[in-house]
Amino acid sequence: MKVCVIGTGYVGLVTGVCLAEIGHNVICVDKDEKKISLLNIGKVPIYEQGLEEIVRKNRDSGNISFSRDVGYGIKNSDIIFISVGTPPLSTGKPDLSSLDEVAKLIGKSINGYKIVVNKSTVPIGTAKRIKKIIKENQDNDHSFDIVSNPEFLKEGEAVDDAFFPERLVIGSESKKAIDIMKELYGPIINQDFDYARANSHKKEKVPVLITDSTSSELIKYASNSFLASKISFINEIANLCERIGANILDVTYGMGLDTRIGTRFMKAGIGWGGSCFPKDVRALSYTAEEYGAGANILNAVIHVNNQQRFKVVQKAMDLLGIIDDKVIAVLGLSFKPNTNDTRETPSIAIINKFLELGAEVRVYDPVVKEYPSDMDKGAVMASDPYKASDKADLLVLVTEWDEFLNLDYGKIKKIMRSPNIIDGRNCLCKKSLTDMGFNYKGIGI
């Protein structure tokens, strides 16, 4: 099928590549000239394992192409995926200006029956909004249908999540569009394509939920908000563990043995960040309040998370007393491992607080090498974890990169001024570090 994907961020690019890999003809468009130039030479502008290889393969086979011309993409496709950003405004309400702009362009360029698919997370009611804008901008009477088809991929595991999804959700009021979407995703639903055969770890069919567009939009927000709630819940329990002398690792394990609870998204730490959870929980809370349904749980989930990252700062104060002039090494800038994404990363909030308190901060991350624009001036980007730790009074681990699990902590202890470690992700071994002479503090252990 002929597909156009508008917006080449995480969701758009991975969707485009996935559809190309299963045999469709895909044009990915983006107004960002730099991104398109990079993609045209087979380079991926984001750090995502395995993605570049599949982009190159499909670019070379002609299954995927990249363009800045949105009108060209629309005119030459039957199915148009919208994957542009909807960043939060200060109220929590998502900014829909990019989405509206795309809908206008679709209206102006429509040259035959089209299916317009909302792939990125869009506010509840967007399917109806897009439909109205396209109609208002049409100067012909070509028909089109709108589909809500949310994406559930995780950064760092995006390729596998796209190829081997746990479910597909297709929300539409049009039977014709639903049937075409099922056909489009046929190889994914049946797990019958080359990449699956080569990497198969799941052979069963992927469940497909057909629903109305509003329910589909809510499934996405409610899923992300539920996962964020699990994390905030377990973080609150971790904080209680510290007060009463319990161990959150055992508590989580014991809870998780009940399959109704499970252990996934139950890792206590410094809280959730990234481009999705913070935006989506806020947006759902905004919508729930706007419609008078109440958002008590969602607001508590946000509140707990906002406080959680600063537990690390409190622990630093407990260990060091006055922070002014202390040297603090921070390991990790990305909001989680295996991505270079620093959007809403707890790390930057923590670093900014240490800087405000007068600390000398040295930061090391395995892939983030550019100074993030929202990080206050003054932190030093260290070229390796040992340079970051040299004469440090405290080492704070904020992102659980594999590299940090295998550092030479004996060497680190020797070069630090005082052997203090705060493990914001409970990923290091408390016993061996304590045996080595470190003052180790985790979260709830």
134 binds ligand UGA (CB under 6 A): no
φ, ψ at 423 (rounded to 5°)? -100, 95
φ, ψ at 20 (rounded to 5°)? -65, -45
Q: Name which of 341 and 360 has its Cβ closer to ligand UGA.
A: 341
Cα Rg, the chain, nearest whole Å: 24
What angle in degrees, to the nearest 10, is found between the helix axes of 97-109 and 126-137?
A: 40
Q: Which of 227, 312, 398, 433 binds ligand UGA (CB under 6 A)?
A: 227
Shortest reach from residue 345's CB to ligand UGA, in Å: 7
35 binds ligand UGA (CB under 6 A): no
Q: Name which of 42 and 256 has its Cβ closer to ligand UGA.
A: 256
Residue 276 is among the residues annotated as catalytic for this protein:
yes
Task: For residue 185, give the 3-state DSSP assignment.
Answer: coil
CA dist., res. 422 & res. 419, Å (int): 10
Shortest reach from residue 380's CB to ligand UGA, in Å: 24
301 binds ligand UGA (CB under 6 A): no
Q: How many residues bind ligand UGA (CB under 6 A)?
A: 21
276 binds ligand UGA (CB under 6 A): yes
Q: Which of 282, 336, 353, 441 binds ligand UGA (CB under 6 A)?
A: 336
Q: Per-residue contact track with ligand UGA, 206 to 225, x per CB under 6 A? A: ------------------x-
Both tokens of residue 1? 């099928």
277 binds ligand UGA (CB under 6 A): yes
272 binds ligand UGA (CB under 6 A): yes
CA dist., res. 306 & res. 300, Å (int): 10
Contacts of residue 81, Cβ cutoff 8 Å, sequence gap at least 6: 3, 4, 5, 6, 12, 15, 16, 117, 119, 149
Side chain identity at 179, as an amino acid letter?
Answer: D
Q: Which of 193, 233, 265, 386 binds ligand UGA (CB under 6 A)?
A: 265
Which residue shows structure tokens 């329910």?
A: 215
159 binds ligand UGA (CB under 6 A): no
Handedness of CA 160, 163, 166, 170 (dihedral sign): positive
Among the options 4, 28, 241, 276, which is catalytic? 276
152 binds ligand UGA (CB under 6 A): yes
CA dist., res. 321 & res. 1, Å (int): 64
Handedness of CA 157, 160, 162, 164 (dihedral sign): negative
Q: Name which of 107 and 165 has its Cβ closer to ligand UGA.
A: 165
121 binds ligand UGA (CB under 6 A): yes
CA dist., res. 157 & res. 51, Å (int): 10
User: Interacting stretch for ligand UGA, rule CB under 6 A, among 28-36, 94-102, 150-158, 415-423?
Assistant: 150-158
Q: Which of 85, 273, 372, 424 binds ligand UGA (CB under 6 A)?
A: 273
Shortest reach from residue 151's CB to ligand UGA, in Å: 6
Residue 56: how many other CB atoms lie within 10 Å: 16
Both tokens of residue 181? 């979407």
**Which of 368, 392, 391 lies closest to 381, judged by CA?**
368
**Which of 36, 21, 27, 30 lies closest to 2, judged by CA?**
27
Shortest reach from residue 359's CB to ligand UGA, in Å: 23
424 binds ligand UGA (CB under 6 A): no
231 binds ligand UGA (CB under 6 A): yes
Q: Name which of 267 and 315 has its Cβ closer to ligand UGA.
A: 267
Side chain identity at 58, as an amino acid letter?
Answer: N
362 binds ligand UGA (CB under 6 A): no
Q: Cβ(285)–Cβ(208) under 8 Å? A: no
Q: Which of 269, 372, 385, 419 binds ligand UGA (CB under 6 A)?
A: 269
Shortest reach from residue 12's CB to ligand UGA, in Å: 11
- 394 beta partners: 328
Shortest reach from residue 274's CB to ligand UGA, in Å: 4
21 binds ligand UGA (CB under 6 A): no
Please give the residue ranges that form the binding site for ligand UGA (CB under 6 A).
121, 151-155, 224, 227, 231, 265-267, 269, 271-274, 276-277, 335-336
Active site residues: 276
